[in-house]
Amino acid sequence: MTDLRVVPWKRYGHDRLYVNDADAGGEKVAWLDRGTGRLTVLVEAHREAAVRALAPYLPSAAPPAPPPRRPPATQRQPAATPAAPPAAPRRPAGPMRPVSVPAARTAVGPVPSPNPDLAANRPGEALLAKIDELAPGFWRSVLNLLLGRRSQADSWRKGLAGERAAAVELDRLAGRGWRVLHSIPLPRGVDIDHLLIGPGGVFSFNTKHHPGAQVWVGDEAVKIGGQAYPYVRKARAEARRASAALSRACGFEVPVEPVLAFVGTDRLTVVASLRDVRAIGHREIAALGRAGGVWSRRQAEVIYAAARERGTWSGA
């Protein structure tokens, strides 16, 4: 069993309880903001254990405040003396002239803009924002745990775990002449999970996490447990948008090959007629590193420099 320890922390106006993993050298697992009641989990595998560890450290609810005391009935309050009416303002002599009143000004500070360099993006950057938006507070997390109830953020966490697993495999190619970008934002709330750029071409990745599932991939759709998903069409659409954006930014045509990367599946079956989309398990990503003959090192660097610029994707 993991040895989790709760450590109080107060600084810069914050009052928090940190949950640290003693077996991992004090690695932070989660923290609770005691002012807002918001729980932030840093290591998803220890979520339930962190909730249990924090529960005994929370103060009990404060007793209700007593009602205000009324003065005794025998005590007579002095009668209030009515205030004199305010004096009427004196009207100045001479004609009235309009007065110019300056418009009120609202001080508006500079709006922080996202980092223009997408190389700083973490895997699942877009999902992290969604999870933070949907994550329940501490007490809601406790209730969900006791009732065995899943929160709205759980499906997004599963997707995040899938993107991180694929990112581990992709990042291994970085030392072999390849460049990798994660969570590339496109207009209309869409993002490309990963982009791989190197001597073998440019690949856009759509990562899907279906633990233990039997997956069938056809020419237009993916079937899992009898249900069809439009993953193939979406992968094609993302690759087309990426190709158009990169070609426009680089000044020469940049083909982009779509890849569907499945994480945690039990079986993956792909029809032989599917030629324009690669459907692979995430453990097969490393095999792409052997591809070559498409771009020179200089050309790949030009494409990567364009791809990491946020402005490249604004009109994709």
Q: Contacts by 109-115 with C-beta closer than 8 Å and gap 24+?
A: 114/310, 115/310
Q: What distances in angstroms separate CA 194 from CA 2, 22, 125, 183, one per listed residue?
A: 33, 34, 11, 6
What would the pLDDT profile of 230-255 be if each residue is shown by its tens digit?
Answer: 999 999 999 999 999 999 999 999 99
d(CA 5, CA 124): 28
What would the pLDDT profile of 254-303 be if each residue is shown by its tens digit?
Answer: 999 999 999 999 999 999 999 999 999 999 999 999 999 999 999 999 99
Per-residue confidence band for 55, with pLDDT thresholds at 50, 70 and 90:
confident
The answer to whether residues 116 and 311 touch, using CB atoms and an 8 Å cutoff, is yes
For residue 103, the model assigns a pLDDT of 37
Q: Residue 182 pLDDT > 90, yes or no?
A: yes
| Residue predicted with more confidence, 34 or 306 | 306
**CA pseudo-torsion sign 185, 189, 190, 193:** positive
Percent of the residues in the chain that have a pLDDT greater than 90, as a whole number: 44
For residue 137, the model assigns a pLDDT of 56
For residue 44, the model assigns a pLDDT of 74
Angle in degrees, CA 223, 224, 226, rounded to 5: 80
Residue range 302-312: mean pLDDT, rounded: 94
Q: Residue 65 pLDDT > 50, yes or no?
A: no
Q: Among 77-91, 94-108, 226-240, where is mean pLDDT lowest? A: 94-108
For residue 2, the model assigns a pLDDT of 67
| Residue predicted with more confidence, 268 or 129 | 268
SS3 string, the chain, reads CCCEEEEEEEECCEEEEEEEEHHHCCEEEEEEECCCCCEEECCHHHHHHHHHHHHHHCCCCCCCCCCCCCCCCCCCCCCCCCCCCCCCCCCCCCCCCCCCCCCCCCCCCCCCCCCCEHHHCCCCHHHHHHHHHHCCCHHHHHHHHHHCCCCCCHHHHHHHHHHHHHHHHHHCCHHHCCEEEEEEEECCCEEEEEEEEECCEEEEEEEEECCCCEEEECCCCEEECCEEECHHHHHHHHHHHHHHHHHHHHCCCCCCEEEEEEECCCEEEECCCCCCCEEEEHHHHHHHHHCCCCCCHHHHHHHHHHHCEHHHHCCC
Q: Residue 26 pLDDT > 50, yes or no?
A: yes
Q: Residue 51 pLDDT > 50, yes or no?
A: yes
User: Taking the mean position of all CA atoms in its chain, how far away is CA 66?
Assistant: 44
Sheet holding 267-270, edge to edge: 227-229, 222-224, 214-217, 267-270
